Structures are given as C-alpha cells and as structure tokens.
Amino acid sequence: MKKIILNILLCVGFLANLFAQQTPAPKQTQAFTIEGATAHIGNGEVIENSLIMFSNGKIDFVGSANTKIARKGTIINAKGKHVYPGLIAANTSLGLGEIDAVRATRDFDEVGTYLPHIRSIIAYNAESKVVETMRPNGVLIAQVTPRGGRISGTSTVVQLDAWNWEDAAIKLDDAIHINWPSAFSRGRWWLGEDPGLKPNKNYNDQITELKDFFVNANKYLKSDKKQKNLPFEALSGVFNGKQKVFIHVNGEKSIVDAIDTFTGIGIKNLVMVKAHGADKVADVLKENNIPVVLERAHRLPSSEDEDYDLPFRTAKILTDKGILVGLGMEGDMERMSTRNLPFYAGTHAAYGLGKEKALQLITENNAKILGIDAHVGTLTVGKDATLFISAGDALDMRTNIINEAFIQGRKLSLETHQTKLWKRYANKYKK
C-alpha cells in the first residue's frame, strides 16, 4: 500500500512539474548594475555604453558608463548588448484563455450585452502556459481585456510573473471597454439574405441605446440609490475621471460618432482601439486629445480601396499628426501572438517610423495610454526596474535573444515549455 501511495505522489509531482508555470521570482534583495550596454530609454533617447543600477525594485541610476560612481551589487557586463524597458501589450485577452478548442479554458467573454461590472482580472490565470511565453521576448506587462457584448467589462494592467491575480495587478480596473456599433453589416446568408456589405439600418438605434445606458447610469449615480444597480455602479469611475473608456471602433464615420456621443454627455477620457480609418480623421482625434491603440500591423487592409501597406504606415501617419499611438493585440490567436509584440513594432519601424519611435509604441506610449507611466515605460530613475537585456535589436526577431529580464527588480526565469523543447531537439541534432 505504501508503495502504491509513493508511486502516486511521484506521478503527481512529475505532472505538476510538467504542467506548472515557472515559480515567480522572489522580491529583489540585492542590487544590480548593468554596464556597457546600449540603453534604449523608451522615450526616443539612446545611451551608448550605458550604466544602469537598481535596487529594492527601483531604478537608482541611468547614465554613461564613464560616470565616476560606485557600482552596486551584482555587476552584469553587457558590453555589445542592448537594454530596454519591459515591453507593454495593450488590449489583449492574455491569461483569460488557454486552449481555444477547449471551452472550459476560455473565460474572456461573459453572457450578456451591457457588462461594465465584469472584471477581467478575476478570471486572469497567472499560471497560464501562454503567459510564460511572453517573457523570453521582453513582453513583461499587459492590459488584460475582456471581449464580447456592447460593453465587455473592465480591463486591468498586470505584470507577467506572479503567483495569482492579486500579485499580478499593477493597475486594477483601468478602463471600461465598449464595442461601438458597426455602421455597416453583412447579410445573414443562412437566412437567405444577401451576404454583401450594406448600411446597418439599426446603427442609430444602437447608438441611442448605448448613450441612454450611460445617461441613465449618471442619473443613478447622482440619486439616493435605493435599489442597487451593479452595472451602473461600475461606471462611477468613468464619470469621476478615474477610469478611461476604450472604444473598439472601425471606420471614420463611426470614430467621429463615438467621439461626438461621449463628449456630448461629458465623458472625455477616451481611447480609440483598432480604429481603422483613424488616419482619415486624425485632425478630429488631435483636437480632442484622444490616443489610439492600433490593431496588429500584420493584417490585410480593412477595405478594397486602401493601400496594401496602410496597416504598416498608420502609426507613422498618426504620430506625425501629433496623436499618441500605442499597439494592441486584439484579433485571431491574440493570446499566443502577444509574444510577437516587438516584431509588430518592428514592422512600423521599417515603414517610416524608425526604431526608437516604434519602440515608444510599446513602452512609453502604451504606458501613458494605460495610465501607468509614473512607474514603467521608460528607463528612468525612480521607476520600477522592469527591463531586459537583449543580445541584439529587440524589434528584430532574428536578434531578439534575451539574456536577462527583471520585473520590479526581480530576476526572472526565461525558461518555458517552448525553450525546453528547443534545447531538447537542438541537442538531439547536435549529436
């Protein structure tokens, strides 16, 4: 009997080791000094032969390695390498789904239409095998965002090395996410309708319904609230300015309608997400000081009359207009593809934006849009020591080989199921 129990325990231990995520790194107890690397600050600035020191989870010094100053703690010789702030992925359902084909592992879309009270962070799986694959590419922070409905719920910004969602959260409930009605619709072929694209005859009614929801919520919040209404309660942060409203919208008419609708009821803390056609209404976005979180560049144009490379050039167009632009990950295979975030930025770099401004899309700009720029987004004294060292250009998949990574000064493990398989088969063919 004892032998059977022992065998069961060994099997359980083996399976736990096989399927469990890497154990999160402990709190930083010793200082680190990174010397000799090319430092990409994240705000467009570059320091050759840099010196960066951090302790107690915060950056203490950023400057030239020629500076006469005592080095602290463990010294990392990074000569010939590059150091970057941790990359930030906006608008991703990372950690809310594991295997698309298994319904029980998908927790990013709740039943219902108006769901501002649904909090994505409650469903976040810090032990996701997908989450751990982000770190070897430098993606260390993400905005975990729900999907579906007219109002999907609230997102939360997390760091990607944690025991649970409480440990992971950097900024709880940072924004409400709205799926704006489409000005066009396709016929339902299964009902015998013409499958072609045509104006959405219910478009104005859907906008009115959405607007009325917010107007009624505002009235409720100003009332004596005798009967509790959870969806309306969840919108209090929108009206007092503590929460942003991320509007997932496509088409220049829809973008303008969304801006007019929400500014008309006194809500101005807006962010346009995906925003195909934003280049055509850039002046309106600039006038209202509205940032844009673009969809991934690696996609087809949204209409037949667009240039084939417009998705690659949109970040450049909007940036030149003075609009704050970040990158998001919504779309097919978005959770798995989030690890490719730096390479999407690299595509924008190749189409006119340049390396450092492209880096800003996923560092300083995303940090500003998500409201976490006081703590992360750039290599700046006083900010969190969330950064990584790469053997080469982090925006190029050929050279983004990460040697060290830190979140709040905690030295991370870069081992994942994928790296283990890579080493296993690399050794096989060496033999």
Q: What is the 3-state secondary structure (H, E, C) of 323-370?
A: CCEEEECCCCCHHHHHHHHHHHHHHHHHHHHCHHHHHHHCCHHHHHHH
* DSSP symbols for 151-164: EEEEEEEEESS-SS
Phi-psi region for residue 430, left (φ > 0), alpha (ψ -120 to 50) or beta? Answer: alpha
Q: What is the Rg, in whole angstroms, of the alpha carbon atoms belonging to the chain?
A: 23
**What tokens appear for 217 in the block?**
């919520």
Percent of the chain with pLDDT over 90: 73
66 with 164, same domain? no
Degrees to nearest 5, angle at CA 10 with 423 and 414:
30
420 with 291, same domain? no
Q: Which of 376, 396, 422 is the last residue of a domain?
A: 376
Rounded Cα gap, residues 271 and 129, in angstroms: 30
Q: What is the CATH number of the domain that holds 409?
A: 2.30.40.10
Give the confidence band of 11 by pLDDT, cuts at 50, 70, 90: very low
Answer yes or no: are the C-beta atoms of 58 and 409 closer than 8 Å. yes
298 with 407, same domain? no
**pTM beyond 0.85, yes or no:** yes
Give the confidence band of 14 by pLDDT, cuts at 50, 70, 90: very low
SS3 17: helix
Rounded Cα gap, residues 259 and 236, in angstroms: 20
49 with 186, same domain? no
Give residue-wise pLDDT tens across range 306-336: 888 999 999 999 999 999 999 999 888 888 8
Is residue 31 a part of any domain in this protein? Answer: yes
Phi-psi region for residue 49, left (φ > 0), alpha (ψ -120 to 50) or beta? Answer: left
Strands 151-159 and 139-144: antiparallel
**What tokens appear for 398 in the block?**
């050929």
Lateral strand order in the sheet of 38-40: 46-47, 38-40, 82-85, 387-390, 402-407, 410-411
Q: Which domain holds residue 51?
A: 25-86+384-431
CB neighbourhood size of 128 (10 A): 19
**What tokens appear for 288 in the block?**
């209202």
- What pLDDT is recorded for position 227? 83
Give the confidence band of 15 by pLDDT, cuts at 50, 70, 90: very low
127 with 42, same domain? no
Give residue-wise pLDDT tens across range 177-235: 999 999 887 777 777 777 777 888 889 999 999 999 999 999 999 988 778 899 999 99
Give residue-wise pLDDT tens across range 254-284: 999 999 999 999 998 999 999 999 999 999 9
Give the confidence band of 19 by pLDDT, cuts at 50, 70, 90: very low
Handedness of CA 128, 129, 135, 139 (dihedral sign): negative
- What pLDDT is recorded for position 21? 58
Phi and psi torsions of 402, nearest 5°: -85, 130
CB neighbourhood size of 312 (10 A): 20
Instruction: Inform me whether the pLDDT recorded for 402 exceeds 90.
Output: yes
326 with 178, same domain? yes
Rounded Cα gap, residues 414 and 139, in angstroms: 11
323 with 233, same domain? yes
CA-wise closest residue to 386 among 141, 172, 144: 141
123 with 180, same domain? yes
Maximum C-alpha span of the chain:
77
Give the confidence band of 20 by pLDDT, cuts at 50, 70, 90: low
Give the confidence band of 3 by pLDDT, cuts at 50, 70, 90: low
Average pLDDT, the chain: 90
Answer yes or no: are the C-beta atoms of 422 and 416 closer than 8 Å. no
296 with 419, same domain? no
Number of domains in the chain: 2
